[in-house]
Structures are given as C-alpha cells and as structure tokens.
Structure 1
C-alpha cells in the first residue's frame, strides 16, 4: 500500500529547491522556512560559514578566502557537495526548531522538466546524504499547478508558466501529466543581468546584481504603467571610478529587459502553436496562469496576453505556488502516487 512509503514516526517534508530561493514545508504545519539558495564557504578550512540570508549579506563584500556558492544553476545541481551541505543545514534546522520530527524525514522535492537521470540521481543522493529517509521526486511545474489550484486531473488543458530564478518552464497539463512544454533560461537572474548590462552601456555605471534585483522588484515592468515610477540607482562610475547615483524610470528598466521578455513571449506562443487543438480550445477558455517569483513582475500578464491574444492571470501568491503544491502532496498519497517520478536509483524505485 502506498501509505507504507512514509514512516508514521516522522513528519513529511516538502522542499522547493530553487535557483534563487529554497522553501521548506512540513506536514500539518505548512511553510516553515524560506532562504536564499546560497552558501558561504571558508576555503581555508572547507567549512560552511553561513547559509541563506546570512550568506547573501556577504555578496560583494567577501574576501578571497570566502567563496559564495550557489547549489543550483538554472534549476540543476551545480555542486553536489555544496547542495548536500545546504540541504543538511535545512534538515538539521527543522529538528532544532522542535517541529515534532522523529527519525529521518521523508521528503518530496520538485525538479525541472528537462532534468537528466544523472541530475535526478544527484538530487536524490544529496537529499539522502543530508539526512532524508526517503526521497520522492515530482515535476516542479506539476506541483506549481497544484499550488495554483489548476484542475490537472481533468481531461482538459491547463497552461502554466512557472517563472523561477534560473529558468522559466512553460507547460500544458492534462490528466495529471505534461502534454507539451518548453524551457527557457529567461528568468529572474537573467532580468537582473539585463539591468546590470543596461546600466553599464547606457550610463557608464557599474552596479551589483542585488542592486539590479531591487530595482527590478520596485519599478521593473513588462508593460506600460499608468503612473511613472522612479528610483535611485547607485554604483561606480566606470570613467571616474568614483561612486555615483542616478535616477532611473520604469520606462528605462522596461527597455532594459524588453528583449528577454520578448523571448519569453515567443516561447509561450511556440508552445501554444504545437499543442493539440483540443487542448488549445480549453486554454483559450481558461487562460494562462503565471506562477513563480518572476510572475510578480509588473505588467507581465498584460504583455503576454497582448502578444498571445489569450487571457492571462497571475496565481495568488505566485512565489509559493510550488511549495503549496508540494505541501498538498504531503497529505494526498493517491495524487502523489499518480504524479511520482521513477527513482534514478534502481534499487530504490517505487513499484
């Protein structure tokens, strides 16, 4: 029986392992942790100095003997040992905070659609080494669709665009499975890089990626706004070498990210164009749903709707759609069984 997969002695844990942020939820408690996906390592001792927010504070301020490492790049494990230590930090923290965890918890993790068997195995092995008792993998975009309350079990088409920090996945879902999909490396970090490059080429100003991200969040947009937004952009003048501050507008930031937004729209249209007509009819009636942190970019839904000529809406609290979907799966054995991916470790495969 499927329920036997989970130990009754331990809580089940959901992990949204993201390029920018990692979020954890615990059965019967919901979301309990949310931290940036970054680790600070002392190269002299090979010890972890900080994880998450504390490590993020070191960006641009760290001496050479401290390396800031990112466990994931574009949603894929980039360094096995760093990822293992990163996950162990979270699992240990769960026990320390007295969340009634006993033994080694079973974890459910969302992974990208284009992950290879080798990369799947890396996620499983890193999780097991970090302290998980059992690891169950599901497609991240399916979890996001569940979190956005899309009727994925129905024999009808639902289209979802999940905009993460490292990549964006576009999928058409029906009968608990992905029918058609695309993946594109246009996501939060790419937009930040666009703003950094724009500041350099248009203003001779060198800014950091955290500054760019803050500007994107506060005044960034993909569609013309009703009221103009402005804010300070601080960095180093590339000519004088001295600190300089300028005022930038939402129009300029929209111009900076326009090519990336256009690329994203093209991928969405290409996905629609290759989707079976029966499902396209459902999508036109239901619309496209945006999830992930990138869905919070102002006017993105309007830009996509105008280009694709189809209704678009942003899910409620889109940044937590995936973890909310994973949390649902912690309590729904039947649904988890239906969407569970085969293990990359043959001896651990669910039968």
Structure 2
C-alpha cells in the first residue's frame, strides 16, 4: 500500500469514526468524499470549510485514533464484523475520553467567541453616537460654558478631531477589526481556491494601513507640501484631499469588477459604507477646510463640521464591519474563533 493510499484510507476511516460518533451524517461524509476526489483537498479541510466539524475535534480524533489496521495487507485483516466491533469499542473509548476531557476542563478547554452581525452593529452604533455626543458636548462647553475642573483634559480625551485619544483609538481598533475579518475571508477563499483572492488580500493590507494612519495621522503630512505645490485654499485648504481623491478613484477602477461580482446584499452594503466613509473623509473635510481657511478652527461651527465628519467616517466603518460579518456568516463556512488549551499548550484556530 502506497503512502497516498494509506493517507486516503486514514481519512476515510476518520470520516467513518466521526459518523459513528454522531458528529457527522452519512450524507455529509458521502458529499465530502466526493468533493475530496474532485478537488484533491484533504477530508478534514473540506469538513472544516463546510462547518460540519470543528478543527479541534478532528485534531483530537487524529491524535487518539489508531490506524495500524490500515497498514496490514487486506488478506490478513480480521473479518469485517470483528473490525466493526473493535472500531465501535475503540470509538466509544475515544469519544468518552473526548467528552470527559471537555467536561473536566483538565486536558481540553474550549472558549468560543460568537459574534452576531446585528448585535455588533447595534453595539458599535451606540458607541459612536456616545463618542460623538461627548465630543460635541465638550466643544460646546468650551465656547459657551464656564470653566470646570479637568475641562481641557476631558475635551482632549474625547475630541473626535484630536489624535491619540479615545475616539482615535476606537477608530484604529475598528479599522484593524476590519482587516482581521478581511484576513479570515482571504484565508478561506485561498483554501477553497475561489476567485478574487488578491482583491481580498489587498483590502486587508489597505485597512491595516488605515488603522495605523488613524493613530499616527500620516495623511496630514501631505497637507503642507501639497498646499505649497498647488497653492490651495478654500475647500482645498486641507490639501491632502487631492491625493486622497486620486487614491479613491484608482481604488474604484481597480476594484470595479470585484465589487460587481459580490452578492447583491453585500455589494449594496459595501457601496453604502464606502459612500458614507468617503463623504465624511473627503466631502465634509473639504467643507471643514473652507471654514478653517476663512474663520480658523477655534469656533463652534468648525466643531460641528468635524463632529459630522468623524461620525460619517465611523458610521461607514460600522456598516462595513456589518457587511463583512454578514458575508462570513452567509457565504463563508467553517470560520470560527476558538481557543484550545491542551497539555498546557494554547492553540488558536480561526
């Protein structure tokens, strides 16, 4: 028996064991085996991709099942009935060990983090409304209310137009969370051998860069040289919007086919999220630049404009997160976040 045949028999035996353990149906095993023949992928990859069996369950069975009977020549194997009895006995022992280990919490502990797209959407909406409300209240108190203890510190910590404070930290984390979701989708697409992997990977990198920029404000370094180069003022007072608009145009041209290939609901959510985000990032930013150019930045009108700008940016990202989570839940099977602690070793499976 060759190594390839031995590996195939092991995978079939694993499938039968999962069926006997009640973790997989016969129809699911039949479908997986057929897909294995057509795709050439491993059985365990197919089972996890389809979300039928979790990876840690497969790992446990692979570590504890004995496959020595598969290496014995067929003419020297025991009768089929005896094999079945031995398999059943061993399977019951293995299943019992698996259940006991999970229940005891001594050898196997599993922590599941389950995220609902709708619940996440509600939570993030409440959070951005809170941040923008507190920010504007601070600006209002600065211009219209008497001084109070720690006023300047509180205004700085919650001002959405400032960097390295709570709103900017939230925005950076939200953008980083987008990149994590995009990375999960990219990995699943790569395993499945589907199209547009490069587009998903590029989006992952873009959102990592946006997250870093949110904390460090690298885009503002473009203002002075661009102002000097084009002698901008008025709506283009914050001159970084010129290279920003060029980047958006190039992005749309590069991702047009990718966007049109998305499922209808996800495509609509992507477009809504992108429109809202760009409206705030570039559109309202230009309006704020006009106000700053004429009257400076120390006035309540400018504070209102920047609050609206940041709210639209945050709202666009929230909708994008909802779109990605909805896409994962409806179109990507087998993605879960688990933490397994086994023999004092921690393994994270995505």
- TM-score of the aligned structures, taking structure 2 as reference length: 0.30
Structure with more helix by fraction: 2
TM-score with structure 1 setting the length: 0.30
Larger fraction in strand: 1
Q: Could you say which structure has the greater relative contact order, defined with CA pairs below 8 angstroms and 6 or more residues apart?
A: 2
